[in-house]
Chain A
Amino acid sequence: MDQLLQFVFSGLTVGAVYALVALGFTLIYNASDVINFAQGEFVMLGGMVTVFAYAAGVPLPLAALLAVAVAVATGLALHRFAIEPARGANAVTLIIITIGASILIRGIAQIVFDKQFHRFPSFSGEDPIAVLGASILPQSLWVLGGAAIIVALLWLFMEKTLLGKAVRATAANRLAARLVGIDTALVLALAFGVSGAIGALAGILVTPITLTSVTVGTLLALKGFAAAMLGGIGNPVGAVAGGLALGLLEALAAGFISSTYKDAVAFVVIIAVLFVLPQGLFGKRAVERV
């Protein structure tokens, strides 16, 4: 029982990160039908920029802020210089562009940073807190709380602001969005910027626990993608649920089966979803009257 609870804690922590990556996928997918496989690189940039800025003597909060700024700038540049010029190309072409971009970003990061694993101190100390016989790291609470706040802010933006509604309108019907005067290219740029910020924050929150290096982005992108598919691609609630579920599955598989196969869980999930539940858990079931 204690052991199970322990696995649940670590699963939810990792799952929260997958959820944030999946949310980034969802935002961009809804604005453009593009699966942005550079999403994992935003997480990597969040962690690595913070590490190196902190090592250079910048206070941790400022280093984190700088990392978010770098990731947002990277997201905007990715849109401006890689996606926007290819406007009108089909979705597969755009997806391949994002894969190319992720390789480029990783390559530049290897030159600017190094190939080692790094971390910076946890925000509130390293001493585990005992909960019902299991223990939880204070940083895990930061990850879970931070993810919850990000999700809540994103929800408020989408539901309560006119700009957020314009993003949802673009997702629902791009032609109609253009006809009412929404600049859909701007909406897409916004989606890339916000996805960059969300990815970077995920990387910053989790680095004290999982460590980071320039290569963490690839696997995170695949797992975030698996989470988004599990939840139903394009559905923000599904993205969060899918991320947490994937994290839990991974932790339970690692704990009860073998940690060797931990990373395989995400791929088993992708295959299972494709075969059994192509719409995902929260896939579009809405009936539209015609």
Chain B
Amino acid sequence: MLRVEGLRSAYGRIEAIKGVDLEVRAGEIVALIGANGAGKTTLLRAISGVQPITAGTILFEGERIETLPPHARVARGIAQVPEGRQVFGPLSVEDNLRLGAFRRGGEHAAEGLAQVYALFPVLAEKRRLPAAGLSGGQQQMLAIGRALMSRPRLLLLDEPSMGLAPLLVDQILEAVAALRARGLTVLLVEQNAAAALAIADRGYVLETGRVTHEGEARALLRDPRLREAYLGV
């Protein structure tokens, strides 16, 4: 579904991604793990088109998309839940969700809203409140719901567990697994490697802009070097 080849991206003279190859197949959850500053967020932003690339190709469903503007990539079916949630603070919860369906003109938003509210009932209770007033976990749910409103086929999730209590992390990751069960493909970036690999099919390990390990999630979980470096065992 998604194939990234030889991707490079830089901030000024500092290269954050130094030639990354990565593949996500339809129906998979792929985890992308690595330390802070490894280039995970840069890679996701490059896939969405909000971070310029210096080399490489991005294929989505067989077509090159690396020159398309971000809104065209959303229209093709790639949605991202950005790091730090990035909700539209002054706007109401429901307006945040409606804007998620912006590319589809907001016309068919009602059905999407019902689905998001079914997935995260707490959002329905707070639909009229400004998003800035939600708790961190609720904002994360809102950010995921907003991304789902565009009816994506591929969901890019950047650090959904960041700053959340363990119970909430489980709840969010369960929701991700449930979405996959409905046919959504997910590329999940996490520092919480154990939690991410637990729900993923395959994983990639990114270190200073390069992929150092890749494979089945279960195999990565057993890899002694990774266990020491990322799983804290």
A168 touches B70 (CB 8 A): no
Which of B84-92, B114-122, B176-184, B215-223 has 4 or more CB atoms under 8 Å from chain A?
A: B84-92
- CB within 8 Å of A: which B32-90 residues: 48-50, 69-71, 74-75, 79-80, 82, 86-90
For A166, give its contact among B87, B99, B139 (CB under 8 Å).
B99
- With A166-B99, A180-B99 known as contacts, the answer to whether A175 contacts B105 (CB < 8 A) is no
A288 touches B132 (CB 8 A): yes
Inter-chain CA distance A181–B88, complex, in Å, is: 14
Q: Please list the residues of chain B having a beta carbon within 8 angstroms of any beta carbon in chain A.
A: 48-50, 69-71, 74-75, 79-80, 82, 86-91, 95-96, 98-100, 102-103, 105-106, 132-136, 139, 146-147, 149-150, 163
- With A166-B102, A181-B150 known as contacts, the answer to whether A289 contacts B88 (CB < 8 A) is no
- CB within 8 Å of B: which A119-176 residues: 162, 165-166, 168-169, 172-173, 175-176
B74 touches A181 (CB 8 A): yes
Inter-chain CA distance A287–B147, complex, in Å, is: 24
Inter-chain CA distance A175–B45, complex, in Å, is: 10
In the bound complex, residues from chain A placing their C-beta under 8 Å from that of B75 are: 181
Smallest CB–CB gap between B132 and chain A, Å? Answer: 5
The bracket for how many chain A residues form the interface is 20 to 34
For A165, give its contact among B91, B133, B139 (CB under 8 Å).
B91
A175 touches B82 (CB 8 A): yes
Smallest CB–CB gap between B92 and chain A, Å? Answer: 9
Smallest CB–CB gap between A169 and chain B, Å? Answer: 5
- With A175-B50, A180-B100, A182-B99 known as contacts, the answer to whether A168 contacts B91 (CB < 8 A) is yes
B136 touches A180 (CB 8 A): no
A 248-290 to B, binary, CB cutoff 8 A, 1 in contact else 0: 0000000000000000000000000000000000000011111
| Residue A115 lies at the interface, judged by CB distance under 8 Å to chain B | no
B87 touches A176 (CB 8 A): yes
Inter-chain CA distance A180–B86, complex, in Å, is: 11
Given pairs A162-B105, A176-B87, 15 additional interface contacts (CB within 8 A): A162-B99, A162-B106, A166-B99, A173-B87, A173-B88, A175-B86, A176-B82, A176-B88, A177-B99, A178-B48, A181-B103, A182-B71, A182-B102, A286-B89, A290-B136
Inter-chain CA distance A179–B75, complex, in Å, is: 11
B50 touches A172 (CB 8 A): no
Smallest CB–CB gap between B122 and chain A, Å? Answer: 15
Smallest CB–CB gap between A239 and chain B, Å? Answer: 16
Q: 12 pairs across A/B with beta carbons < 8 Å?
A: A169-B95, A169-B96, A176-B86, A176-B88, A177-B88, A178-B48, A180-B74, A180-B149, A182-B102, A183-B69, A286-B132, A290-B136
Smallest CB–CB gap between B8 and chain A, Å? Answer: 19
Q: For B100, give the chain A residue with the smallest CB separation.
A: A180
B74 touches A179 (CB 8 A): yes
Inter-chain CA distance A178–B88, complex, in Å, is: 12
Smallest CB–CB gap between B100 and chain A, Å? Answer: 5
Inter-chain CA distance A3–B88, complex, in Å, is: 48
In the bound complex, residues from chain B placing their C-beta under 8 Å from that of A179 are: 48, 50, 70, 74, 79-80, 82, 86, 147
Inter-chain CA distance A182–B150, complex, in Å, is: 11
Inter-chain CA distance A179–B99, complex, in Å, is: 11
In the bound complex, residues from chain A placing their C-beta under 8 Å from that of B95 are: 165, 169
In the bound complex, residues from chain A placing their C-beta under 8 Å from that of B91 are: 165, 168-169, 172
In the bound complex, residues from chain B placing their C-beta under 8 Å from that of A290 are: 136, 163
Enumerate the 6 nearest inter-chain pairs by beta-carbon distance, A residue then B residue, closest first: A181-B74, A181-B103, A176-B86, A162-B106, A181-B71, A172-B88
In the bound complex, residues from chain B placing their C-beta under 8 Å from that of A289 are: 132-136, 139
Inter-chain CA distance A285–B45, complex, in Å, is: 30
A173 touches B89 (CB 8 A): yes
Q: Which of A166, A287, A289 is the most central at the interface, judged by chain B CB atoms within 10 Å of its CB?
A: A289
A180 touches B102 (CB 8 A): yes
Smallest CB–CB gap between B105 and chain A, Å? Answer: 7
Inter-chain CA distance A175–B133, complex, in Å, is: 20
A286 touches B134 (CB 8 A): no
B102 touches A181 (CB 8 A): yes
Inter-chain CA distance A63–B80, complex, in Å, is: 48
B70 touches A181 (CB 8 A): yes
In the bound complex, residues from chain A placing their C-beta under 8 Å from that of B71 are: 178, 181-183
Q: For B134, give the chain A residue with the smallest CB separation.
A: A289
In the bound complex, residues from chain B placing their C-beta under 8 Å from that of A181 are: 70-71, 74-75, 102-103, 150
In the bound complex, residues from chain B placing their C-beta under 8 Å from that of A178 are: 48-50, 70-71
Smallest CB–CB gap between A131 and chain B, Å? Answer: 39
In the bound complex, residues from chain A placing their C-beta under 8 Å from that of B106 are: 162
Inter-chain CA distance A82–B163, complex, in Å, is: 42
In the bound complex, residues from chain A placing their C-beta under 8 Å from that of B86 are: 173, 175-176, 179
In the bound complex, residues from chain A placing their C-beta under 8 Å from that of B105 are: 162
